Amino acid sequence: MSDRIAHHRRYLMCRPEHFTVSYSINPWMEPANPTDTAKAVAQWEKLYETYLALGHEVELIDPLPGFPDMVYTANGGFVIDGIAYGPEFRYVERQGESPAFIDWFRANGFDTRVPEEVNEGEGDFLLAGDVILAGTGFRSTGDSHAEVGRIFGREVVSLTLIDPRFYHLDTALAILDPVVEPGAEPGIAYLPHAFDEASQAELQRRFPNAIQVSDEDGAVFGLNSASDGLNVIISPRAKGFEAQLRERGYNPVLVDLSELLLGGGGIKCCTLELRGARE
């Protein structure tokens, strides 16, 4: 019997009404391959309904025509303690999303900070206990790591991604324990060879009990998952990761977002965590 606890979470999502792949800004995007918007919406709705069924709170931001990647709300900001650090997208194709996310944070009562540095929100910033893990190499720049540290007043650990398939930190590393007792090691899972040697060494030092997943599971975006501390929403194709989670006492919940993977995003990409001041 697992002693893990499911913690109530609050998320921001965006219905993929305009989803398609009309350009390529990551290795997963092939505009020549057809996409099915209705299928993407149906798969997204399954994820949305799963969160609600687990007792979580889901807020919605309106999708904007002309921005098919807006469904990937994780890139739209980073929120801790009621402070929302807005995004500054690297590629022009997504830059029009930034004002929409910043306006949403302001309208919903967050202490909203407009970034000076290129960053793609929770795509590259993940909270592990009291420490911010920060990805760089493809999207967010190193200067954004200093900026996020100043804004939140927390230690930032920079991790360098080296495999273009895993261009955001949340494609190569998952936070399994969103709430951690002081001094305890946060549960994480990661794909070692997505990182350079220095970053691998740092992860091994800080998280000696982490789950290390196979490339097979990483390549189906198995790590692009969301966890409440007990239930971990993952791709049904990540069979090895599913077994590893069960061995550690987590409850894998399988949700297929294969259509949205055509745009280079999965479960976590569609899920921005909204952490209030009470946390």
Question: Strand pairing partners for 233?
Answer: 226, 253
> Residue 23's pLDDT is what?
61
- CATH code, domain carrying 151: 3.75.10.10
- Cα–Cα nearest to 179, from 52, 80, 62: 80
**Residue 3 domain flag:** no
**Residue 278 domain flag:** no
What is the pairing mode between strands 231-234 and 251-254?
A: parallel
> Residue 278's pLDDT is what?
44
Cβ proximity of 241 and 217 under 8 Å? yes
**Residue 123 domain flag:** yes
> Residue 31's pLDDT is what?
67
Give me the domain span that covers residue 19.
10-273
List the strands of the sheet with 156-160, edge to edge.
Answer: 125-128, 131-136, 156-160
**Residue 102 domain flag:** yes
Question: Strand pairing partners for 58?
Answer: 11
> Residue 25's pLDDT is what?
58
Question: Strand pairing partners for 188?
Answer: 175
**Residue 115 domain flag:** yes
> Residue 263's pLDDT is what?
74
Q: How many CB atoms lie within 10 A of CB 2?
A: 10
**Residue 2 domain flag:** no
Cβ proximity of 10 and 274 under 8 Å? yes
- Please work out, in degrees rounded to the nearest 5, the angle formed at the alpha carbon of residue 121 by the alpha carbons of 220 and 30: 40
- Please work out, in degrees rounded to the nearest 5, the angle formed at the alpha carbon of residue 113 by the alpha carbons of 111 and 116: 175
**Residue 106 domain flag:** yes
Rg (CA), the chain: 17
**Residue 103 domain flag:** yes
Tens-binned pLDDT, residue by residue, of the chain (279 aa): 468 999 999 999 999 987 776 665 566 556 667 678 889 999 999 999 999 999 999 999 999 998 888 999 999 999 999 999 999 988 677 889 999 999 999 999 999 999 999 999 999 999 999 999 999 988 888 799 999 999 999 999 999 999 999 989 999 999 999 999 988 999 999 999 999 999 999 999 999 999 999 999 999 999 999 999 999 999 999 999 999 999 999 999 999 998 988 777 899 999 999 998 644
What positions carry a catalytic annotation?
168, 269
What distances in angstroms separate CA 39 from CA 159, 167, 185, one per listed residue? 34, 25, 39
Q: How many CB atoms lie within 10 A of CB 181?
A: 9
Domain tally, the chain: 1
| 3-class secondary structure, 223 | coil
- Cα–Cα nearest to 194, from 138, 132, 248: 138
For residue 10 the two structure tokens come to 């609050």
Q: How many CB atoms lie within 10 A of CB 114?
A: 14
CA gap 37, 18 in Å, rounded? 7
pTM: 0.94
Question: Strand pairing partners for 226?
Answer: 233
Cβ proximity of 154 and 177 under 8 Å? no
* Sheet strands (E) in 48-192: 57-60, 78-80, 83-85, 111-113, 125-128, 131-136, 156-160, 173-175, 188-190
